[in-house]
């Protein structure tokens, strides 16, 4: 079993036309697979099928797995024989809405469904780059489960955007045996320059695994301007690949042996002093 994985990040533009957004994703993955037969995994951005904004969530919500977007991803995974981490869409279930990532196996079956656990809540003052208020909780319900999928032999933990700010979630994924974390994300341009790369490299430093994000392309005219900069960070916490701001596709091979190498050479996990922490911990 090879420890290499070839993956693609599709930093796609997202507009108001759902079928156009989905067609761009399908055509993009199809083109990349034709050009790179070794491609095993394609990753899409958060909210890749519809505009992102509290006022849009109910309008664009679909059911999982029988909605039109899911059926397109399932068919595509089967047709091309690859895994797809389907960014996120707004899911409607039993009268509630969730921001949900679906994961598809090469046989077209749904192998994971992650509902964003930490809803995006932010009130940035104007002094910090223009000012942004956002509260996903006004329209969405938070997920309450972690999501680990197997991509080939490798365990991968899934989070969505704001989830990557929460180091405990990443640590639990690491303890569950994950060697990669994938966060489809749409950071705004005010938090992006400060925290996008920093958070991704922080999660990689702490947990010694690959950390991958995929953003929509930036559109200055959109109501919510996504940062771009989709990125692969390696287990040494180095940026292995980074997109710019516009529409861009990245294809990259990663080597999972690097996870074991880093953990052996800097064995912080074995050095943890859980006895000391337990004694000192004020909360649970």
Ligand X SMILES: *[C@@H]1O[C@H](CO)[C@@H](O)[C@H](O)[C@H]1NC(C)=O
Q: Within positions 103 to 162, which residues make up the interface with ligand X, using CB under 6 A?
A: 105, 107, 109, 111
Q: Which is nearer to ligand X, 15 or 246 (CB)?
A: 246
Decide the pairing of beta strands 132-135 and 110-115. unpaired
Rounded least distance, CB 217 to ligand X, Å = 8
CB 226 within 8 A of CB 243: no
Q: If binding is defined by CB under 6 A, does position 218 make contact with ligand X?
A: yes
Tell me the C-alpha distance between 52 and 57, whole Å: 7
Rounded least distance, CB 275 to ligand X, Å = 39
Q: Which is nearer to ligand X, 31 or 109 (CB)?
A: 109
Rounded least distance, CB 111 to ligand X, Å = 5
Q: Distances in Å between the alpha carbon of 214 and those of 15, 231, 233, 262, 270? A: 17, 7, 12, 24, 31
Q: Which is nearer to ligand X, 53 or 108 (CB)?
A: 108
Q: Can you read off the two tokens belonging to residue 55? A: 């006022």
From the list 172, 207, 161, the residue with the least C-alpha distance to 44 is 161
Catalytic residue among 46, 62, 136, 242: 46
Rounded least distance, CB 219 to ligand X, Å = 7
Rounded least distance, CB 110 to ligand X, Å = 9
Out of 123, 133, 144, 220, the only residue in the binding site for ligand X (CB under 6 A) is 220
Collect all residues with Cβ–Cβ distance below 8 Å to 126 and sequence separation of at least 6: none
How many residues sit close enough to ligand X to count as binding (CB under 6 A)? Answer: 8
Rounded least distance, CB 130 to ligand X, Å = 11
Decide the pairing of beta strands 4-11 and 180-184. unpaired
Collect all residues with Cβ–Cβ distance below 8 Å to 5 and sequence separation of at least 6: 40, 41, 151, 152, 154, 253, 254, 256
Tell me the C-alpha distance between 160 and 154, whole Å: 19
| Contact string 252-271 vs ligand X (x = CB under 6 A) | --------------------
Which ranges in 87-143 belong to alpha helices (H)?
none
Q: Which is nearer to ligand X, 230 or 240 (CB)?
A: 230
Out of 58, 246, 257, 268, the only residue in the binding site for ligand X (CB under 6 A) is 246
Q: Which is nearer to ligand X, 53 or 152 (CB)?
A: 152
Decide the pairing of beta strands 96-104 and 83-85. antiparallel
| Contact string 71-110 vs ligand X (x = CB under 6 A) | ----------------------------------x-x-x-
The verdict on whether 46 is a catalytic residue reads: yes
From the list 172, 170, 171, the residue with the least C-alpha distance to 160 is 170
Residues that bind ligand X (CB under 6 A): 105, 107, 109, 111, 218, 220, 245-246
- Name the residues annotated as catalytic: 46, 116, 161
């Amino acid at each position: 079993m090879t420890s290499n994985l070839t993956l693609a990040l599709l930093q796609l533009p997202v507009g108001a036309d759902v079928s156009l957004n989905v067609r761009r994703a399908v055509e993009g993955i199809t083109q990349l697979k034709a050009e790179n037969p070794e491609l095993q995994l394609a990753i899409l951005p958060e909210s890749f099928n519809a505009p992102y904004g509290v006022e849009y969530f109910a309008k664009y919500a679909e059911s999982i797995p029988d909605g039109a977007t899911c059926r397109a991803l399932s068919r595509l995974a089967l047709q091309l024989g690859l895994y797809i981490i389907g960014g996120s869409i707004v899911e409607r279930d039993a009268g509630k809405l969730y921001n949900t990532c679906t994961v598809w196996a090469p046989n077209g079956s749904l192998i994971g469904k992650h509902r964003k656990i930490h809803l995006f809540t932010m009130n940035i003052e104007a002094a910090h780059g223009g000012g942004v208020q956002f509260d996903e909780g006004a329209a969405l319900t938070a997920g309450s489960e972690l999501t680990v999928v197997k991509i080939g032999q490798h365990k991968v933990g899934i989070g969505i955007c704001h989830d990557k700010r929460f180091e405990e979630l990443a640590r639990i994924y690491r303890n569950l045996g994950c060697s990669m974390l994938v966060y489809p994300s749409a950071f705004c341009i005010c938090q992006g320059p400060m925290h996008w790369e920093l958070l991704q490299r922080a999660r990689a430093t702490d947990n010694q695994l690959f950390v991958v994000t995929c953003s929509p392309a930036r559109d200055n005219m959109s109501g919510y301007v996504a940062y771009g900069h989709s990125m692969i960070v390696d287990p040494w916490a180095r940026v292995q690949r980074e997109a710019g701001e516009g529409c861009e596709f990245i294809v990259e091979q990663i080597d999972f042996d690097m996870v074991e190498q880093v953990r052996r050479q800097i064995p912080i996990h074995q050095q943890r002093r859980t006895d000391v922490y337990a004694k000192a911990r004020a909360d649970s």
